[in-house]
Structure 1
Amino acid sequence: MISIVSSWSGWKDIVSSNGVVVSVAVTVVAISWSIISKRRNGGKLLPGPRGFPLIGNLLSLEPDLHFYFTKLAKVYGPIYKLQWGMKCCVVLNSPALAKEGLRDQDAKFADRDGPVVGMVLSYGGIDMVWGASDAEWRKLRKICAHELMSNTNLDSCYSLRRNEVRKMVKDLYSKIETPVDVYGAVFTTNLNVIMSILWGGTLLVGAEKTSVNAEFRQLFHEIVELSAQPNVSDFFPFLEWLDIQGIEKKSKALLAWMDRIFASIIDQHMKLERTQEVHKESKDFLQFLLELMEKQDPKTQITMTQMKALFMDIAVGGTDTTSTTVEWVITEMIQNPDMMKKAQQELEEVVGKNNIVEESHISMLPYLDAVVRETLRLHSPAAMLVRRCPDSPCTIGGYTIPKGAKVIFNVWGMHMDAEAWSNPSEFLPERFLTSTPDNMKKYDYRGTNFNYLPFGSGRRVCVGISLAERMVTYLSATLLHSFEWQLPEGTKLDLTGKFGIVSRKAIPLVAVPTPRFSNPEFYERLHRRGNGETRFPPGPRGLPLVGNLLSLEPDLHVYFAKLSKIYGPVIKLQLGRMCVIVFNSSSVAKEVLRDQDANFSGRHIPTSALIMTYGGKDIIWGQSDQEWRKLRKILTHELLSNTSLDSSYSLRRSEIRRMVKDVYGMIGTPINVGEQVFVATLNVVLNMLWGGTIQGDERIRVGIQFRQLFNEMIELGLKPNISDFFPFFTRFDIQGIEKKSWKIFNEMDRMFDSVIDQHLKLEKENNGLKLGSSKDFLQYLLELTKKHESKTQVTMAQLKALLQDVVVAGTDTSATTLEWAMSEVVKNPEVMRKAQEELDEVVGKNSIVEESHMNQLPYLEAVVKETLRLHPAGPLLIPHRSITSAVVAGYTIPEGSRVFVNLWAIHRDSEAWNNPLMFQPERFLSSDVNLKKYGYTGNNFDYIPFGSGRRICAGTPLAERMLIYVLASLLHSFDWKLPEGEKLDLTEKFGIVLKKATPLVAIPTPRLSNLDFY
C-alpha cells in the first residue's frame, strides 16, 4: 500500500484537469503566504531543483522515481529537497545519510505520513505499516514478530509451505514444454502459504479455503491498482474532503469488501468453536488473535479492528514482494546460464537428483543464497522504503529537515553506489562469496549494513524478514532444482524494471520449464491399473496404465486436429481407464450425430457435473431417457419458444440499452468488452427465469451472487480429475474436487431455495400469485411441481437443475462469441465499416436498434455466422457416450466410449471451406450460397456451431437473437478501436468454452447523432 505511485506521468493528466487546477489555484493562492512563512527556518537550506509556483516539482517527476532520484543526486548531492504541492519531500541517497536517519535518529524518523488509500485500508492507520510508532504499534509488532514470524512458529508450519511448493511443482510439471508465467505460479503459492498460516486451521474445508483465497487474490490486485494512482489530496491535504478523484470512495469500497471477507472467516471460527470443532493442535494465527481479544491484559489485548488491520498487513506485505523477487531470480538465471548451472550443481550435490528440495537444505546452499542476495541488491522490490515523517525538526548531513516532511530513503540508489559496490550494474553473486569468513553475515537482512538495505532498517525494518528469507530461497531452489528454464523460441529476455508499489519486471517473465529429475515419480505420483485392449480406431501409442494422458496438449481441439492428419478422421486415445474416440470430419460427424444419434446420445458424467446437476437430473448431463425428454420439451416449448421469446423482448431490450448506457459512460476509455456483454447476457437470462418473482435490489444481489458462483463452477469444471480417468479413486477424492463440488452445489442450492422461498412468500401474501403477463419461468415450473400429471410434473431437484442449465449454458457461450465477433471486426476495419453502413441504412443514425431489425441485416448475420465458424464456443461439443458397441467409418466403437466431435476442425476443413483460416463473412453471402444452408439446426455437417441431433443446444433460438441484437447495438452505437500502442491478440484458450486467451479491451466512441439515445 505504499503511496509512491507507479506512473508519475499520470500526475500531469490530473493536473491538466480544469476542476483540479481551479480547486488548487483558488485555495492555494489564498494561503500561500502563510505556508511560505511557516516553512522558513534558520537552518541550512536543502538544495534541489526549482519548482513551479503552487505545485512545486510535481510536473517534472519521471515515471521511474528511483532512477530520477539517483540522477538528481548526481546534480544536487546525496540529500536534496523536492516540493510536491504543499508537501516537502526530502530524498536521502547515500548509506551514510541512511545510517543517520535509520539508526542514529531512528526514533525521530519512525512516524509515517500516510496517504489516503493507506489510511483507509489500514482502518485509520492502526496497523504496523502506517500506524504511528506508539505503544499500540509496538504491541502489534511484538505480537506479529513473537508469534506469527517467530522461528518456532515458522518451523511448526513448514508442512504448509512444503505442500504448497510441491503443489506448484506438480502444476508446472503439467505444463512442461509450454510457456508459463513464472510470477503467476509463485504468487499463487505465496498467497496460499500466507492464507494457510493466517486461517488455515479455521477454514478446514479445502473448497472453502480455495474460495476465500481466490477472492482475496482479486481484492489484492484491486488494492495494488488503486494504491498506484496519484492522489491530489495527498499533496494538497485541504482538498481531501472533496475527494476529487473518488479515490477515498473507492478505498472505502475495497475496505468494506475486505472487511466482509474477514468477518466471514471470523464467523466461521466462532461457529466451529461453538460446535467444538476448532482443532487445537493446528491453531492458526486467527485463533491466537481471537484469544488475545478475550484477555483483559492491556499489554496483549487487541481490538477486532486491530486484528483485521494486522491481517491486511501480512497478506499484502507477504505476497507480492516475495513473488517479484523469485521472478527476478529466475530471470537472472536465464540471463546468465553459467550461474544457473552453478546453482543447479550445488543443488545436486546437497539435495541430489533423485530427491526433492527441503527447507533444511537451504543453509547448505551458499551460492544460491548469494544469488538471492544479489537479486535483492540489483532488483530490490522496495526500491524506496515506505516513507518516514519526522515528528520534529532535525538535522541530517548538516541540513535541517522540517517537521512533517516526507523523507524517502532511495535504497535502489544506495545499492547502485559505485563507492560501496564494484561494477554495481552487473549481476555478480560472487561478490557475496569472497574469502572473508563473515562476508555473508556482513550483508544480512537486518539492516545493520547501510550499503545493503533490501528490508529497511531500524524499528521500521520489515517484520516479515524471517518468512521472506525462507520462502525466496526455498522457492528459487525448488524451481531451479526441479526444472531447466529457457525462453520460448524467438523471444528475448527483457530486464527492464517497472517502478511501483513493488518494483516489478516491466514485462513478466514467461519461460518454458523442462524436467530435471531422473525419476518422474517426484513430479506426478499416478496410481496405475491395467486395462484390457479392444479393437479401436488408429491412434498414438500410449504408456502402460496411463495411456496417452501424459502426451495430451493444452489445446485439445488443435491437438486432435493434428493427430487426425496422421491417423485419419477417426482416432482413438486411451486416457487412463477411459477409451476416447475423436471424430474430426463432417462425414463421420454425420454418422454419429444423425445416422446413429440414439446410440451416441449418452453421457459420461464427470464427478463435479454429477454433483452440481442434482445427480444428473438436468438436460446437459442427464441420460436421454423419458425424464430427460420431458424436461427438454418443457424448456423448448415454454421458456425458449418463439412466443415466449417475443413476450420477453422488453427484458432483453432494457438490459441491452442499459449496457449501451454503461458503455457510453466509459467512452474514450478502454473497456473489457467480454465483461460488458457477459453481464448483459446474464441479466437477460436471470430476468427470464425469475424476473417476475424478485425485483429491484434483490434481483441485482441475486445476479451478482450467481455471477460469482458461475465463475467458480467454470474454474472447477476446467480441472482434470484423476477420478474421471481412474474411477477406482473416486472414493478417495484425491484432488478434493468432489468436496469442492459439494461446496459449490450447496451454495447454489441455497440461492435457488432463497428465490423459491421469495416466490412462495409473495404467493402467500397475495393469496395466490397472479402477475398475469409477467409470469416468469420459475412460476411456471413451480406450478408443474404441484401437478400430478406424470407427463408434465417435475420434482424440485429437476426444477433447480433446469434453472442451472439455462443460466450456465445461456451466458458464457453467448458472451464469448460476442467478444470474438467484436475482436474480428476491430481487427478487420472494412468488416466493421460494412456492418455499420448496413445498420445505418436499416436502423438509421437517429434511431436505436430493435430486434425487429435483425431479419434485415444479412451482412451482420454473416459476421455472426463466420464468428461461430472460426471461433465456435464449444470446440469439441459436450462429449457423448456410446450406449452400445457401434461401427462408424468401418471402425468398431466400444460400448461406453467417450466420444468427441471436433467441430473446430470441421469448421476449418479446407475441403469444405475456401481459405478456412481467414475471417470472411462474405463466404455466406455469395450468389451460390444460401444463408439458410448454413443455419443453426445442425443439418449441414460442415457447419454445426450448436451441435446436431437430439443433443443439439436447446438454447439456440435465444442465442441467435442475443448474438445479433447485442452485436448490432454495439456496432451501431459506437465506433471501436484498440488502445494506443496495443495489438490485437486472437490467441485461443481451450476450455469448456473456447475463449480469447487475452480479453478484448477496446475504446468506444459514440456514433449516434442524438446523444439522448444513450
Structure 2
Amino acid sequence: MEYMMTMAFWLPCTSILVMMIIIIIIMDPRRRMRSRKPEPPGWPIIGHILHLISGRDLLHVKLSALADRYGPSIMFLKVGMRPMLVVSDPAAAKECFTTNDHAFASRPHLASGQLLGFDFKLLSWSPYSPFWREGRKACTIELLSTSRLQALAYIRDEESCKLVSQLLTWVHQGQAVVGMREAMSNMVLCIILRMVGGRRCLRCGDQVKELKGLIEEAFLLGGEWVLGDWFPCVGWLDHFGSTRRAMSHVARRMDNIIQSWINKRRRRMMEGCDANDDGEEREGEGSDFMDAIMAVADKDLPNDNTEDKDGFMKPLLLTMIIGTMDTTSVALEWILSELLNNPHALQKAQEEIQAKIRHGRKIQDSDIEELPYLQALVKEALRLHPSGPLLVPHESIQDCKVSGFNVPSGTTLIVNAWKIHRDPRWWDRPLQFEPERFLGDGSASHLDIRGRQHFQLIPFGSGRRACPGTSLALSIIHLTIARLLHGFDWKVPPDSSCVDMTEGPGFSLNKAIPVEALLIPRDASQNYL
C-alpha cells in the first residue's frame, strides 16, 4: 500500500519533469538556431524586403551588417517572391564557384537584364545557354585572347600617352587642379572603341559622347529597385513608374548607336571598301572585332536575314564596350584616390618606377612584371573598392547544397565581394590601405586576383561566369597608373585635407564625389608627347 502511494506521488512528478525537459530542449533557442537555416526575421508576403530598403546605407553595406548578425558565412533571404542566398565567406564562395559552378551558372530574370541587357542577350545578363557559350567563345577568341591583346597593345599605348599629354597641356594652360574621372573614362572608352570598331568609331564624336553618358546612366539604373523583380504578379505596375521607362529609353538609344555603326560597316563592305580604309594607316594585325563578329554571324547564320545577324552582333559589341568602360574607369579613380590619401605608398611606387625605368623612355606593358609594388597597390585598391561590390547575381538551375544547407533551384545567389574583402577573419587591418600585404612575406602575398584559386579576393568574380575581360582590364589599369605616376607628382588640392572616399549608388561602386588632384609635371612626362 505504501509502495503504491509512493508510486502515485512520484509517477506524475516524474512525468511532469520529463515533459518540462522535453519542452526546454525543443524551445532552446540555440537548438532552434542550429536546426534552422541562417536568416533574419521576416514578414509574411514581403519577406525580408524591409531590411534592404530601409536606411541610407548602400545595399552591399546593409547585407554586410545583416551577415554579421545572422550569418556570417551565408544567409538566406526571401525578398518578396524571390528566394536569395547571400554569401559573405571565401569558403562558401568557393563552394558556389567550384563544386556548384554549374548549378549557379545562370542569371536571374530581372528588369535590368531584360531591358538594359537587351532581353538577356548581353553576356553579363544572359542565362546559361548555347547563345551565352557561343557569344563568350567569340569574344574570347576574337578580342580577349592573349594573342589579340598583344596585337592590340598599341591602342592602349597610344591612348594612355594621349591621356598624359592632355593632362600636361591642361597644367601648362594653368589648370593645375584636374578632375580625373572624365579624362580617365574617356581614355578607357577610346581604347575599347578602337579595339571593337577601329579608329572610325572615334570620329562619330556626338555618338561617342552620347554612348558614354548612356553607359553611365545604365549603371546607375541597374542599381534601382523594380517592383516586378520581387513581386512578378504586380509587375505590370512598373509600367506606370519611371525606372522601367528610363531603362527602355537608355537601351533603345544605345541600340540605335550600335546599329548605325553596323550599318555603316556593312555598307562599306558591300561597296567593296576596306572597312578600315579611310585614308589613314590601317590599325593592327588583320580585322577588328566588328569584322570578326560579322564573319561569325555570316558563318553561323548563313541566311540573308540581317535582323537575325544584327541581333547576334549588337549584344556582343555592347557587352565589350559596357563591360570595359565603366568598371575599369571606376577602378582607376579609386586607385588614384587611395594614392592621394596615402602619399607614402605613392612615393614608394614612384621610387620603384624610377629605379626600374631607364631615363628617357616611356613605360611599356612589358615593364609591369618588373614593378611588383605597382601590382600590389592595384590589388589592394581592388580589394577595398571592387568595381562590383556585389558580384553580378547568379541563379541556381538545379537544387544544390552550400555550407550544408539545401538551396533549391531558382534561388538568386548574391556574393558580397565587398564584405569578403574587408572581413577581419581573413585580413589583417582590413580597412587600411597596405599594398605590402601582397608582397614578399606579406599575409596575402600568395593570393591571385583572378578568382581561380583564392576566394578571399574576387573583384572579377570566379567560375564559368567570371569576368572574361580581366586581362584587358588589368592591362589598362597597370599601364595607365604606371604612366600617370611616372609623368606627374600627385597631391591633394590645396583646399582639401584628403580625398573624400564616400561610395556612390549604382550597380558599380562609383565614388560619390569625383576625384580631383594637383598635378606637378615630372621630367618623364615629356616621354609621352
- TM-score class, shorter-chain normalisation, is 0.7 to 0.9
Give 1:223 shift.
Answer: 1.7
Structure 1 contact 201–284 (Cα < 8 Å) conserved: no
Please, which of 501, 515, 521 is the counterpart of residue 495 of structure 1? 501
Q: For 1:159-174, list aligned pairs within 5 A.
A: 159-174=154-169
1:361-418 residue CA offsets vs partner (Å, 9 max, x unmatched): 1111111000001111111111111111111222211212222122111111111122
Indicate yes or no: 2:465 matched with 1:469: no
Q: Which of 56, 59, 63 is the aligned partner of 1:65?
A: 59
How far 1:467 sits from its partner (Å)? 0.2
**2:287 pairs with one of 262, 270, 283:** 283
The residue that corresponds to 1:190 in the other structure is 188
Residue 51 of structure 1: aligned partner:
42
Name whichever of 308-317 and 44-53 sits farther off: 44-53
Paired residue type of 1:59: L
TM-score by length of 2: 0.85
Q: What does residue range 716-795 of structure 1 map to in structure 2 within 5 Å?
A: none
1:181 pairs with one of 179, 182, 196:
179
Shift of 1:150: 0.8
Q: Does 1:217 align with 2:215?
A: no
- The question of whether the paired residues in 2 share the 8 Å contact of 1:367 and 1:429 is answered with yes
For structure 2, which runs of at least 5 residues remain unmatched after alignment? Answer: 1-33, 277-281
Task: Please tell me whether residue 248 in structure 1 is matched to residue 241 in structure 2.
Answer: no
Tell me, in whole angstroms, the C-alpha distance in 2 between the residues paired with 1:392 and 1:244: 35
3-state secondary structure, aligned to 1:318: helix
DSSP 3-state at the match of 2:523: coil
Residue of structure 2 equivalent to 1:200: 198
- Residue by residue, what CA displacement relative to the aligned partner does 1:453-493 show, whole Å, maximum 9, x if unpaired? 11111001100001011011111111111111111112132
Q: Which SS does the other structure have where 1:485 is aligned?
A: strand
Residues 521, 449 of structure 1: CA spacing in aligned structure 2 closer, same or farther, 3 A cutoff? closer
Equivalent positions of 1:611-690 (< 5 A) are: none
Alpha-carbon distance in structure 1 between the residues aligned to 2:504 and 2:425: 25
Q: Residue deviations 1:786-820, cap 9 Å, x none?
A: xxxxxxxxxxxxxxxxxxxxxxxxxxxxxxxxxxx
Separation (CA, whole Å) in 1 of partners of 2:42 and 2:372: 48
Percent sequence identity over matched residues? 31
Supply the distance in 2 between the matched residues of 1:277 and 1:342 (Cα, whole angstroms): 48
Larger radius of gyration: 1
1:262 and 2:258 aligned: yes
Aligned mates of 2:197, 2:313 — CA distance in 1: 12
Partner of 2:400: 394
Tell which has more relative contact order, 1 or 2 (C-alpha 8 A, sep 6+): 2
Question: What is the CA–CA distance in structure 2 between the aligned matches of 1:256 and 1:372, rounded to whole Å?
Answer: 36
Question: CA separation in 2, counterparts of 1:368 and 1:404?
Answer: 42
Change (3 A) 1:488 1:442: closer
Please tell me whether the aligned partners of residues 93 and 411 of structure 1 are also in contact (alpha carbons under 8 angstroms): yes
**Equivalent position amino acid for 1:278 in 2:** A
- Asked if 2 retains the 8 angstrom alpha-carbon contact of 1:95 and 1:414, the reply is yes
Distance across 2 between alignment mates of 1:128 and 1:50: 35
**Contact 1:55/1:86 (<8 A) preserved:** yes
Pick aligned residue for 1:429 from 410, 431, 435 = 435
The normalised TM-score by structure 1 is 0.45
Closer, same or farther: CA 67–219 of 1 in aligned 2, 3 Å: closer
Matches within 5 A, 1:349-748: 349-435=355-441, 442-493=447-498, 494-517=500-523, 521-522=526-527, 524=529
Amino acid paired to 1:367: Y
Q: Is the counterpart of residue 104 in structure 1 residue 109 in structure 2?
A: no
- Paired residue secondary structure (1:484): strand
Q: Counterpart amino acid of 2:398? A: S
Contact 2:106 / 2:395 at 8 angstroms: preserved in 1? yes
Is the partner of 2:75 in helix, strand or coil? strand
1:300-335, CA deviations, whole angstroms, 9 ceiling, x for partnerless residues? x98321211112211111011111111111111111
**Can you list the C-alpha shifts for 1:907-960, whole angstroms capped at 9, x where unaligned?**
xxxxxxxxxxxxxxxxxxxxxxxxxxxxxxxxxxxxxxxxxxxxxxxxxxxxxx
Quote the Cα distance in structure 1 between the aligned partners of 2:260 and 2:328: 27
Partners of 2:224 and 2:300 lie apart in 1 by 42
Task: Quote the offset at 1:523 in angstroms.
Answer: 5.5
CA RMSD of aligned residues (A): 2.3
Q: Report matched runs for 1:981-992 at 5 Å.
A: none
CA distance in 2, matches of 1:521, 1:318: 29
Moved over 4 A (4+): 438-441
Residue 85 of structure 1: which of 66, 72, 80 is its match?
Answer: 80
Q: Is the 8 A contact 1:202 1:278 kept in 2?
A: no
Displacement of 1:76 in angstroms is 1.4
User: 1:164 Cα deviation (Å)?
Assistant: 1.1
Distance 2:39 2:293 in 1: 47
1:258 to 1:365, Cα distance in 2 relative to 1, 3 A: same
Q: CA deviation at 1:522?
A: 3.4
The whole-number CA distance in structure 2 between the counterparts of 1:402 and 1:244 is 33
The 8 Å contact of residues 437 and 445 in structure 2, kept in 1 or not, is answered as no
Answer whether contact 1:391 1:404 (CA < 8 A) is retained: yes
Q: Is the 8 A contact 2:88 2:420 kept in 1?
A: yes
> In 2, Cα distance between the equivalents of 1:218 and 1:379?
23
**Structure 1 equivalent of residue 338 of structure 2:** 332
Q: Match for 2:268 among 268, 272, 276?
A: 272
Please give the alpha-carbon distance, in whole angstroms, between the structure 2 residues aligned to 1:105 and 1:310: 27
Q: Do the aligned partners of 2:216 and 2:326 also contact (CA within 8 Å) in 1?
A: no
CA contact (8 A) 1:127 1:306 kept: no
Which residue is 1:866 aligned to? none
Say which SS state the counterpart of residue 55 (structure 1) adopts.
Answer: coil
The residue type equivalent to 1:54 in the other structure is: I
- Residue 117 of structure 2 is matched in structure 1 by 122
What corresponds to 2:149 in structure 1? 154
Aligned counterparts of 2:108 and 2:191: Cα–Cα separation in 1: 31
More divergent stretch after superposition (308-317 vs 248-257): 248-257
Give 3-state SS (helix, strand or coil) of 2:98's partner: helix
1:284-323 alignment, distance < 5 Å: 284-296=288-300, 303-323=309-329
Q: Is the 8 A contact 1:120 1:251 kept in 2?
A: yes
Distance 1:423 1:74 in 2: 17
Name the SS of the counterpart of 1:505 in structure 2. coil
Find the residue that maps to 1:498 and give its secondary structure. coil
What is the alpha-carbon distance in structure 1 between the residues aligned to residue 408 and residue 367 of structure 2? 49
Q: Distance in 1 between matches of 2:157 and 2:272?
A: 30
Relative to structure 1, the CA distance from residue 297 to residue 214 in structure 2 (aligned partners, 3 Å threshold; closer, same or farther) is: closer
Equivalent AA in structure 2 for residue 259 of structure 1: D
Match of 1:226 in 2: 221
- One-letter code of the match for 2:246? K
CA distance in 2, matches of 1:74, 1:291: 51
Supply the AA of the counterpart residue of 2:70: Y
Deviation at 1:345, TM superposition (A): 0.8
Give secondary structure in 2 for the equivalent of 1:512: strand
Matched residue SS, 2:68: helix
CA distance in 1, matches of 2:221, 2:39: 30
